[in-house]
Structure 1
Amino acid sequence: MGSWKSFDRLVKEYDAWYERYKLAYESELLSLRAFLPENLEKLKALEIGAGTGRFASVLGVGLGLEPARAMAMLAKQRRLEVVLGVAELLPFKKEKFDLVLIVTALAFFENPNQALRETLRILKPGGQILAGILDRDRLQGRYLESGNKKGGFFSKAHFLSTAEVSSDLEKLGFERLEIYQTLFKPPGEIKEIEIPEKGHGKGSFVVLSARKPVQEHGD
């Protein structure tokens, strides 16, 4: 059973997190915006694991993929077009998108590497992947407490480190890797929106941006 199935019963708890820790949420959005192109409205963009649409709907990404029906229904209320499906077998043709967004969802995929491979397939040459993760090396339980680890929506998560995701992206052939970080305090202790910093190792929330090569290696 996919770990995402628990979100059908935890959808209200999941969505309420963003209201309870609004400054942490706004800090995450700001770090993602650091990499977003200015002409996003002219590009073909997709969020994989769109959840309740908290990120795509605000950032200007009009299409989301989400396996949990209850989550997808709430995302649609936020005016996001949602396709039901899983990240490891994307229901899209190759080289269809200019940008693919994945926010915290990698930790819930059955096979994160396969999901990244599928992302590479559907991106146009030169297209961008923007992945926001909760860095396993920096969490140390601080972030998890706010998500009710025991039996909550983090209980099925398998968090990855920035080094692991960076390595997977590079091995698959992605290039021009850049990294920003935020959430330097536990979500409940953040008193103002945090300004993202380059690199990783300090913040719990890390954003990785990389590009599909314009030409396949070896051409």
Structure 2
Amino acid sequence: MSGTVRLVVVDDHPVVRDGLRGMLAGQPDLEVVGEAGDGREALAQVARLHPDVVLVDLRMPRLDGVGTIRALTRDHPGVRALVLTTYDEDQDILRALEAGAVGYLLKDTPREELFRAVRAAARGESVLAPSVTARLLGRLRNPLPDVPSDRELEVLALVARGLTNRAVARSLSISEATVKTHLVHVFGKLGVDDRTAAVTVALERGLLSLDR
């Protein structure tokens, strides 16, 4: 990778975006060409500006960081997604990396490390905060229970909105029996016995958002 690295900064807090823009502006080879307050706005910016790297937070309205990363990976495979967040829970890290993020940094990362990470991400290299690496290694040694699939979480999100199994089936164009099967799998993976507990645990673990 040579020349200037073009970035889009995505965070739902304007003060954070301003701070990152000011920090990155001091580097002659790094240029913030756009910013967004949520995932949908970010995807529109990427389609218009064609950046090299998208610096993205995880918890955002309308479309969260994982959903944004997944869409970037699918629709803009040449754009690198680099997570910059305050959240370092195992599930957050795994979901972001599985969605296609090339790196995962925390917001207390020293600025010089952030600059190096952005340049490395632009080259397609993986970049992980030390604490994130430690968490991943720890998870390999002590695996967590299975995580619900995207489809299972999609069903659970509709349940969280108060839909019956029949209404969920209609909404997703699947059979009511399939809805029940998905929910049984979700209960098993989350270690719960009913719909309310499943929604509660999924929200607590960050697997589900009420904005979803």
Give the TM-score, by structure 2 length. 0.38
Name whichever structure is richer in strand by fraction: 1
Q: Bigger relative contact order, structure 1 or 2, given CA contacts below 8 A and separation 6+?
A: 1
The higher radius of gyration belongs to 2
Give the TM-score, by structure 1 length. 0.37
Name whichever structure is richer in helix by fraction: 2
